[in-house]
Amino acid sequence: MNNKIDTAVTRFLTNRARIGPFELAFWIAAFATIYLLPGRHLILTEIAIWGLFALSLDLILGFAGIISLGHAAFFGVGAYAAGLLAKHEVIVEPSIALVFAGLVAAALGFATSFLVLRGSDLTRLMVTLGVALVCFELANKFADVTGGADGLQGVSDHLAPVFGVFRFDLFGHNAYIYTLAWLFVMFVLARRIVNSPFGLSLKAIKGNALRSSAIGIAVNWRLIAIYTLSAGYAGIAGGLLAQTQAFASLSMLSIDRSADVLLILIIGGPGYLYGGLVGALVYRLLQDFLSSFSSRYWQFWIGFVLIMMVLFGRVYGGIIAAVIIGATIWFDLSPTWSFLVLGLSLLVLGLAREILVKWIALAEQQVSTWLSRVWTQSKSTIRARLDHGAGA
Amino acid sequence: MAPVLETRNLDKRFGGIVAASGISIAIRKGARHALIGPNGAGKTTFVNLLTGVLRPSGGEILLDGAPITNLEPHRRVQLGIARTFQINQLFADLTPIETLGLAVSERHGSGRDWWRIVGSRAGITVEVAELLERFGLADVMAERTATLPYGKQRLLEIAVAFACRPRVLLLDEPAAGVPEAERHEILATIAALPADVTVLLIEHDMDIVFSFADRISVLVNGELFVEGPPDDVACDPRVKAVYLGEALDG
């Protein structure tokens, strides 16, 4: 009896870490883009970097419950570290320079982690925002080191080819492979970490810090550890951007970037590691798609999508937003008219939210019962046919 | 015999309010010690002081004669003081398997292990299985804690504290709010705790206290009022007076 429970326990715990078919398909598709979409490598590089950056935020937000509005601080510091290492020929090998960029960002993360230990979400938002603002202005002030508002020039002059062989070419092929390889390695590491006892203890802390310390978990040290690690991840993402673009600028430290990465993670969904990657893909493609219709106002639509997702959940909100935005594009409305339509839909949908959510739940239930009925019916039909066939 | 857990002149003030004043209690090894007292007597404050959730304003706490007065809560757990909470403090999104797995793996010091997959250490899963069976949680072990019946949640509350293999287990009103029908399961579980685990029971329900405890301390207004074996405490006219709500005289 006991043995049976033990087996069930082991299976239950290890199942969480098993690689599913969707995961396999995701990564096969990701690596297939190297050959299948050679003309898209520049934007894919950008997406992969956003994905890694959002993954770093997921580590603290999705798994430890630490919300940050200043994660660009670590991204930017990593970018400048990688840029400066190359510019001054300290470390010319990109992959080693990137490790250092991550370490520098992690050191900053460790130093500021003590500020986010205590307090509510609001305190954490303000503290992280403050840290990012300080970093931004420091980079702005010390223009002789960072290049200030002009950005850091001359990164490409001394950046060696990766492993001394693969030079970053104009079309970004090697840069994409390099970025994707980093993303993959960092993802596998993160996956391993969140499925470890340490990762589980983070989830526990997120769920109930009081009980966590009551079972002997050193809550603060665990939070410091994951915050430091997350900062390192963000630093590597920033370093990748600096290396692949051969440039570092103040925008990499900006509040906009911190807000964007939060947006990306929320669109993709925190707490399961793929949220950041999916979010980056959706966000960047959406941005590309929408700005082809209205290059000036694309953020208006993004805002609309976000509000719909918050009101109706990720899937249904996404569908509703797609239908309404699709309609404005289909009828070829001018920006003014589509603003009006979207604004009105916001008002109506916002007011009718409760009823709509109820309808959606009802419809979901009916569809699922209908599906299961069809399933059992078709199963019995098939079985009857088979029996009949065997009989004849 | 030397006490396993001892407090000396423990004080706690919140501004002008005195929640604990000069409490000196010695709990001997293997005891079934109950702490009772009317509402607002400072029972939960006392537990919070013992476990490190609150720091005392004065006095000392000793575990096996060594002071632990200023240790962090998690350090005290590692040294062998575990507690349950009067109001459930569980991980709503985790299952009993994960909850107990966490507590056991922390005790084995593998909570800092960031590489191995959870559940890959055989010793830990065997222990989790034993705990699930001992506390009657095997049939709900893979369900989210938030969806468990309240009685099962109360059992998990005790199980997760017990999973820390405490030398002193503090039970803060373990049967609080449990419907009559599920009550006996919890009481039977508490009665079946191993004899070498020292238990300090904080309780309101006198039936539970007198059927379980071999020693009783009565706390009133943050002070230790009476202490002794159950029979003595039951007969003490002053205790009766407190519980009948009569005014205290000097």
Look up the CATH number of the domain holding residue B13. 3.40.50.300
Which of A5, A197, A222 faces B133 most closely, judged by CB atoms?
A5
Q: Closest residue of A to B112, CA-based?
A: A198
Among A110-114, A227-231, B141-145, B180-184, where is mean pLDDT lowest?
Answer: B180-184
Q: How far is the C-alpha of A135 from the C-alpha of A76, rounded, in Å?
A: 8
The pLDDT, as a whole number, for residue B1 is 64
A211–B160: do the CB atoms touch at under 8 Å? yes
Under the banding of pLDDT at 50, 70 and 90, the label for residue A350 is confident
Among A89-98, A229-238, B209-218, where is mean pLDDT lowest?
Answer: A89-98
A198–B114: do the CB atoms touch at under 8 Å? yes
Q: How far is the C-alpha of B74 from the C-alpha of B82, rounded, in Å?
A: 9
CB atoms within 10 A of CB B46: 29
With respect to residue B15, please indicate whether it lies within any of the assigned structural domains: yes
Q: How far is the C-alpha of A375 from the C-alpha of A62, rounded, in Å?
A: 36
Q: What's the pTM?
A: 0.89
The pLDDT, as a whole number, for residue A180 is 96
Q: Which helix (H) or strand (E) holds A117?
A: none
Domain that holds residue B58: 3-90+164-243
Q: How far is the C-alpha of A119 from the C-alpha of A117, rounded, in Å?
A: 7
Q: Is pLDDT larger for residue B225 or for residue A28? A: A28
Which of B93, B103, B114 faces A215 most closely, judged by CB atoms?
B103
Q: Which two tokens stand for residue A188?
A: 């596998």
A6–B119: do the CB atoms touch at under 8 Å? no
Q: Closest residue of B to A217, CA-based?
A: B74
For chain A, the average pLDDT equals: 89
With respect to residue B85, please indicate whether it lies within any of the assigned structural domains: yes
Q: How far is the C-alpha of B82 from the C-alpha of B174, rounded, in Å?
A: 13
- Answer whether residue B248 shows pLDDT above 50: no
How many domains, in total, are found in chain B? 1
CB atoms within 10 A of CB B24: 13
Under the banding of pLDDT at 50, 70 and 90, the label for residue B117 is confident
Spell out which residues of chain B touch residue A195, defining contact as CB-CB under 8 Å.
117-118
Among A106-115, A297-306, B49-58, B111-120, where is mean pLDDT lowest?
Answer: B111-120
B118–A17: do the CB atoms touch at under 8 Å? yes
CB atoms within 10 A of CB B193: 16
Are the C-beta atoms of B156 and B141 separated by less than 8 Å? Answer: no
B133–A2: do the CB atoms touch at under 8 Å? yes
With respect to residue B18, please indicate whether it lies within any of the assigned structural domains: yes
Spell out which residues of chain A touch residue B90, defining contact as CB-CB under 8 Å.
208, 211
The pLDDT, as a whole number, for residue B244 is 63
Best B77, B125, B135, B154 member to test A by mutation, with max A CBs in 10 Å, is: B125
The pLDDT, as a whole number, for residue B249 is 46
- Answer whether residue A280 shows pLDDT above 90: yes
- Which letter does DSSP use for residue B118 in this model? T
Spell out which residues of chain B touch residue A208, defining contact as CB-CB under 8 Å.
89-92
Per-residue pLDDT tens for B31-73?
A: 999 999 888 888 889 999 999 989 999 999 999 989 999 999 9
Instruction: Give the pLDDT mean for B96-102.
Output: 93
Spell out which residues of chain B touch residue A198, defining contact as CB-CB under 8 Å.
111-114
Q: How far is the C-alpha of A304 from the C-alpha of B78, rounded, in Å?
A: 50
B74–A217: do the CB atoms touch at under 8 Å? yes
With respect to residue B41, please indicate whether it lies within any of the assigned structural domains: yes
Spell out which residues of chain B touch residue A200, defining contact as CB-CB under 8 Å.
98, 101-102, 105, 118
Spell out which residues of chain A touch residue B85, defining contact as CB-CB under 8 Å.
210-211, 214
Q: Closest residue of A to B89, CA-based?
A: A211
- Answer whether residue A12 shows pLDDT above 50: yes
The pLDDT, as a whole number, for residue B250 is 39
Are the C-beta atoms of A166 and A178 separated by less than 8 Å? Answer: yes
A201–B106: do the CB atoms touch at under 8 Å? yes
The pLDDT, as a whole number, for residue B247 is 47
Q: Which of B62, B37, B67, B14 is nearest to B224 (CA)?
A: B37
Q: Is B138 on the interface with A (CB under 8 A)?
A: yes
A217–B102: do the CB atoms touch at under 8 Å? yes
The pLDDT, as a whole number, for residue B16 is 84
With respect to residue B96, please indicate whether it lies within any of the assigned structural domains: no
B77–A216: do the CB atoms touch at under 8 Å? yes
The pLDDT, as a whole number, for residue B175 is 86
Best A13, A16, A192, A224 member to test B by mutation, with max B CBs in 10 Å, is: A13
Q: Is B136 on the interface with A (CB under 8 A)?
A: no
Which of A14, A208, A215 faces B119 most closely, judged by CB atoms?
A14
Q: How far is the C-alpha of A49 from the C-alpha of B158, rounded, in Å?
A: 46
Q: How far is B68 from chain A (nearest CA, A)?
A: 15
CA A27 centroid distance within chain? 15
Q: Which two tokens stand for residue B235?
A: 């007969």
Rounded percentage of chain A residues whose pLDDT exceeds 70: 98
Taking chain B, what is the end-to-end CA distance rounded to the nearest angstrom?
34
With respect to residue B183, please indicate whether it lies within any of the assigned structural domains: yes
B residues 55-114 lying closer than 8 A (beta carbon) to A? 72-74, 77-78, 82-83, 85, 89-95, 97-99, 101-103, 105-107, 110-114
Q: How far is A116 from chain B (nearest CA, A)?
A: 19
The pLDDT, as a whole number, for residue A186 is 97
With respect to residue B178, please indicate whether it lies within any of the assigned structural domains: yes
The pLDDT, as a whole number, for residue A288 is 86
Contacts with B205 (C-beta within 8 Å, 6 or more apart), sequence order = B175
Q: Is B146 on the interface with A (CB under 8 A)?
A: no
Among A5-9, A355-359, B187-191, B221-225, where is mean pLDDT lowest?
Answer: A5-9
Fold of A25-290: ABC transporter involved in vitamin B12 uptake, BtuC (1.10.3470)
Q: How far is B87 from chain A (nearest CA, A)?
A: 11
Q: Is B132 on the interface with A (CB under 8 A)?
A: yes
Spell out which residues of chain A touch residue B132, defining contact as CB-CB under 8 Å.
5, 9
- Answer whether residue A60 shows pLDDT above 70: yes
